[in-house]
Structure 1
Amino acid sequence: MNFDGHSRVRTMKAAVVTGAGRIQTDTLALPTPTKNQVRIKLEGCGVCASNLGPWAGPEWMSFPTEPGSLGHEGWGFIDAIGEEVHDLDIGDRIAALSYHAYATYDIADQQAVVPLPPELAGHPFPGEPLGCAMNIFRRSQIGPGQTVAIVGIGFLGALLTQLAVAAGAHVIAISRRWFSLDVALKAGASAAIPMQDHWQIIDEVKGLTQGRFCDCAIEAVGKQWPLDLAAELTKERGRLIIAGYHQDSPRQVNMQLWNWRGLDVVNAHEREPAVYLSGMRDAVQAVLDGRMNPSPLYTHWFPLEELDTALDMTRDRPDGFLKALVRYP
């Protein structure tokens, strides 16, 4: 038997990408959760930089997209449950790992749902990127007294700055935008360096670390130059963490440098749903503990009908921008 908490509601809104840089908003029938599934009345969804590849309309992309697809950072309330769903009830506020969340409703497996405690009521919680930050932080093995370079202070880099500072590390923030560097300093970074000149940055970090360089360098941009830079900033037997999204083209690496310094290189992109969910649960606790505070990092909000503007802004990253959220009525 399916239990529906809002039986009078029969339709939903969903964004459809119709071509490169183009969307429309369709009205559709509500989906029905089946065995082990829940339906979520979404409050909102984060806009992810991984959407930008499909948004640009590459040859491999097919249009139109499925309604709501590309959206995977949703949160909201359970509004219907399918058979054999346990420990979840209608009205529970949750974050979910679902894949059609550019819509007012979505379906998720019960195993892909993370309950949100009452202390987070009213606070947006795009679980997937927050969980991603926690998993990257875990794999970075950052501890008290370590020096950590974070190359790229966007939403992810700002979260990692907060977590590293809370762990007692000394953070050197590197970003091309003064706005982002200011965000990092307010989060407790020990130093902030504009990402302008490759060798000047290396010399400055060398001076800040008395020639030792960094115990850990996290590359959070997803481009060739920041990847090269992060490797140069990592000390001998240090840890180079690849957190940027490298899906636009192949990369070259300086294997001579990596080998000579004996670097531990970690590709921190997880693919196991269970690991994502573990990170999301850790993110809930980190927010409750005060080790992570994402709220001031949500800089721009849009209605579903303006998802195209949100995606363009995520691509162009104007001054003052860190993270866009799409919010539903």
Structure 2
Amino acid sequence: MPDTLLSPHPAVAAKAATTMQAAVIAAPQTVEIQDTSLPEPQAGQVRLQLEGCGLCASNIPVWEGREWFSYPVAAGNPGHEGWGIIDAIGEEVTGFAVGDRVAALSYNSYAQYDLADADKLIKLPEALAGKPFPGEPLGCAINIFRRSDIQAGQTVAILGIGFLGALLVQLAKHAGAKVIAISQRDFSLQVATGCGADEVIKMDDHWQIIEKVKSLTNGKFCERVIECTGKEWPLNLAGELTAERGKLIIAGFHQDGMRQVNVQLWNWRGLDVINAHERDPQEYIKGMQEAVKAVEAGILNPDPLYTHTYALADMATAFENLSNRPDGFVKALITF
């Protein structure tokens, strides 16, 4: 595993190149590195020579296998956190040039190259040269924070300290909130402390957690609670920790079936329940643009959270670690 996150500045693709390497999930828990045709940008598109792509927890079901997925998956899919250098431009593209370093909202970035619509790109400034920038999850954190309406002086509980939860700790602290971080892994609680959390609580016993938060808030609980786990139990715990007329923000990706929740409690306390996921690509782009500014300003510091890097050839190991979360794992990147 490489010790550094910095990749050499990629050269512009040779004009004679006609193929590239891409990861293909051929069957559940089976990934192959295949030579595939180099994609050509159509009108309104650009082609990126990728520097890297982040791994997202939403990839786990397609890696593990579900009955609703078809295999093999398209080459490079489901990589959607790519950044790199524009090496080819289709017709009707304005505002971008070959050689621009960008982050993209695209969908096949576990590969050496990917295509992206020109309206789903953001330019990366010189201040971020040489730094990884998985734009989609960084923009997602910004959008969730915006939807959470966190104000100075509030107490905010964040359940699940992975990459997203850690970024939200940073954002909430910058906004002047008191932050209580709740997570299962001892390492993730250390990460939360490093990001500025005022209190950390092990996510183990449901009722003990409630009593601890009740004590920390003089019985009032939290004006804002952000659930980042995507699991049913923490979602119900999040409701218990939300103050009367508070906001419960669902940031976890609940993709594996129905949820049973305590609507009686939500109703009695008059909670605002906010699903903070965006589906409009342009909202993602706005979040990514704001994330660039936040990183430049030092409001967000994602660098310590990039804990694991892999070459494309090690994609199987990357997926296994994404699923199993070895100690010390927060965010993994595929780098080229």
Q: SS in structure 1 opposite 2:234?
A: helix
* Counterpart check, 1:52 vs 2:60: yes
In 1: Cα distance, 2:55 partner to 2:233 partner: 25
Contact 1:6–1:79 (8 Å) recurs in 2: no
Selected match of 1:119 from 117, 127, 130:
127
Contact 1:5–1:90 (8 Å) recurs in 2: no
Cα offset for 1:308?
Answer: 1.5
In 2: Cα distance, 1:101 partner to 1:5 partner: 16
* Counterpart check, 1:184 vs 2:192: yes
TM-score scaled to structure 1, two decimals? Answer: 0.97
Amino acid at match of 2:243: K
* Counterpart check, 1:37 vs 2:25: no
In 2: Cα distance, 1:169 partner to 1:249 partner: 33
* Counterpart check, 1:321 vs 2:329: yes
Show CA shifts across 1:55-109 (max 9, x none). 1111111111111110000000000001111010000000000000000000001
Partner of 1:311: 319
Partner of 2:224: 216
Selected match of 1:162 from 145, 155, 170:
170
Cα offset for 1:29?
Answer: 2.3
Amino acid at match of 1:311: F
TM-score scaled to structure 2, two decimals? Answer: 0.95
Cα offset for 1:5?
Answer: 6.1
Amino acid at match of 1:213: F
Amino acid at match of 2:206: H
Cα offset for 1:9?
Answer: 2.8
In 1: Cα distance, 2:105 partner to 2:231 partner: 26
Q: How does 1:59-74 map to 2 (within 5 A)?
A: 59-74=67-82
Amino acid at match of 1:160: L
Show CA shifts across 1:260-294 (max 9, x none). 00000000111110111111111101101111111
Cα offset for 1:319?
Answer: 1.1
- Any stretches of 5+ residues in structure 1 without a counterpart? none
Selected match of 2:255 from 247, 250, 256:
247
Partner of 1:226: 234
What root-mean-square deviation, in Å, do the aligned CA atoms of Structure 1 and Structure 2 show? 0.9
Partner of 1:142: 150
Cα offset for 1:219?
Answer: 0.3
Selected match of 2:299 from 291, 298, 306:
291
In 1: Cα distance, 2:93 partner to 2:14 partner: 18
Show CA shifts across 1:35-64 (max 9, x none). 111000000100111111111111111111
Q: How does 1:276-287 map to 2 (within 5 A)?
A: 276-287=284-295
In 1: Cα distance, 2:32 partner to 2:194 partner: 39
Q: SS in structure 1 opposite 2:60?
A: helix
In 1: Cα distance, 2:301 partner to 2:16 partner: 37
* Counterpart check, 1:8 vs 2:47: no
Q: How does 1:252-271 map to 2 (within 5 A)?
A: 252-271=260-279
Q: SS in structure 2 opposite 1:238?
A: strand
In 1: Cα distance, 2:196 partner to 2:115 partner: 39
In 1: Cα distance, 2:208 partner to 2:299 partner: 32
Paired residues in the alignment total 325
Partner of 1:24: 32
- Any stretches of 5+ residues in structure 2 without a counterpart? 1-11
Show CA shifts across 1:178-229 (max 9, x none). 1111111111111000011111000000110111100100000010110011
In 2: Cα distance, 1:76 partner to 1:115 partner: 10
Contact 1:74–1:96 (8 Å) recurs in 2: yes
Amino acid at match of 2:218: Q
Q: SS in structure 2 opposite 1:157?
A: helix
Q: SS in structure 2 opposite 1:299?
A: strand
In 2: Cα distance, 1:279 partner to 1:307 partner: 28
Q: SS in structure 2 opposite 1:94?
A: strand
CA separation of 1:5 and 1:25: change in aligned 2, threshold 3 A: closer
Selected match of 2:308 from 286, 296, 300:
300
Amino acid at match of 2:262: N
Partner of 2:99: 91
